[in-house]
């Protein structure tokens, strides 16, 4: 009989109606956790809920916008009402963008930070009292784009770098309360059909399907996130390029900059 290491735990995954978030929710369920999934699209969220229920039926869905104060509170309140406690909060919600800084509508920064930062802060603040009671986990899903600034991704990189500051602050503030803080830097990962990003003018555009030898599956990312939670690890860096970047950037940022400058076209093609 396979040991389910999160049996009896209650987990929330924001932005989990599809993509990495849904894969994380499914892996948490496989490990025995009761799971609350979240998204803003009710139809897509209901489909995700039904898919995860093929693992077990201790699944609940809360449709709300966690970038708002009320949405963040609603998500946590509903999870506590349904399951009575909270052990894990995975802050996965977020959106990316494309475009040179000089071409950006300033509203792009507002859109990105509302999703990626407010969408993390609101549920986290609401969840802290419950997580103190269980000495639980808060995990931030970042990106290798949060390790250093990359071309064509200025707003996205800056929002993902900000997650590290949140994690660092929380680790100190909650050290005495036993809350585990995890920060996961996700690498180049497959995307769902129809996944959107924000263009320079602020409109939404559909990303092309990704491919290549360094592409990671959503399931592999999900397993790494759940290992971070089980082992109560702080930083997890995924993919070989991500690990190399995390090692070289602090030692020789000029070398990293030179490499990016000389591979800009390849980088742009991969991220369109």
Token representation of residue 192: 């769902």
Q: Please give the C-alpha separations between residue 85 and each of 49, 71, 81, 89, 119, in angstroms, as whole numbers.
A: 20, 18, 8, 12, 21
Give the CATH number, domain containing residue 219: 3.40.50.720
**pLDDT given at position 101:** 95
What is the pTM for the complete model shown?
0.94
Domain of 173, in residue numbers = 10-270
Helical spans, DSSP H, in the chain: 19-30, 42-52, 69-83, 107-113, 119-134, 154-173, 218-231, 240-251, 253-261, 264-270
- Any domain includes 195: yes
Low-confidence ranges of the chain (pLDDT < 70): 1-2, 213, 265-272
Task: Tally the domains of the chain.
Answer: 1
DSSP state, residue 263: T
3 falls within a domain: no
Catalytic status, residue 185:
no
DSSP 163-230: HHHHHHHHHHHTGGGT-EEEEEEE-SB---TT-EEE-TTS-EEEPPPP-STTPBPHHHHHHHHHHHHH
Given the residues 156, 185, 188, 234, select the one marked as catalytic.
156
């Amino acid at each position: 009989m396979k040991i389910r290491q999160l049996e009896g735990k209650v987990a929330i995954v924001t932005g989990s109606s599809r993509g990495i978030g849904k894969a994380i929710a499914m892996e948490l369920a496989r490990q025995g956790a009761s799971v609350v999934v979240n998204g803003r699209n009710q139809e897509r969220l209901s489909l995700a809920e039904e898919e995860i229920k093929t693992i077990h039926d201790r699944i609940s869905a809360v449709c709300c916008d966690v970038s708002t104060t009320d949405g963040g509170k609603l998500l946590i309140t509903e999870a506590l009402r349904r399951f009575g406690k909270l052990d894990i909060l995975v802050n996965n919600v977020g959106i990316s963008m494309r475009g040179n800084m000089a071409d950006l509508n300033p509203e792009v920064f507002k859109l990105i930070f509302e999703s990626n930062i407010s969408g993390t802060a609101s549920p986290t603040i609401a969840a802290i009292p419950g997580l103190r009671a269980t000495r639980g986990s808060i995990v931030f899903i970042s990106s290798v784009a949060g390790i250093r600034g990359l071309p064509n991704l200025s707003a996205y990189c800056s929002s993902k770098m900000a997650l590290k500051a949140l994690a660092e602050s929380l680790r100190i503030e909650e050290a005495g309360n036993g809350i585990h803080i995890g920060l996961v830097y996700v690498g180049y990962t497959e995307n769902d059909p129809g996944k959107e990003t924000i263009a320079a003018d602020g409109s939404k555009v559909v990303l092309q399907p990704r491919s290549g030898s360094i592409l990671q599956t959503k399931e592999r990312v999900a397993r790494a996130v759940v290992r971070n939670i089980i082992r109560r690890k702080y930083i997890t860096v995924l993919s070989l390029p991500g690990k190399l970047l995390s090692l070289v950037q602090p030692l020789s940022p000029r070398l990293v900059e030179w490499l990016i400058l000389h591979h800009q076209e390849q980088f742009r093609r991969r991220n369109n």
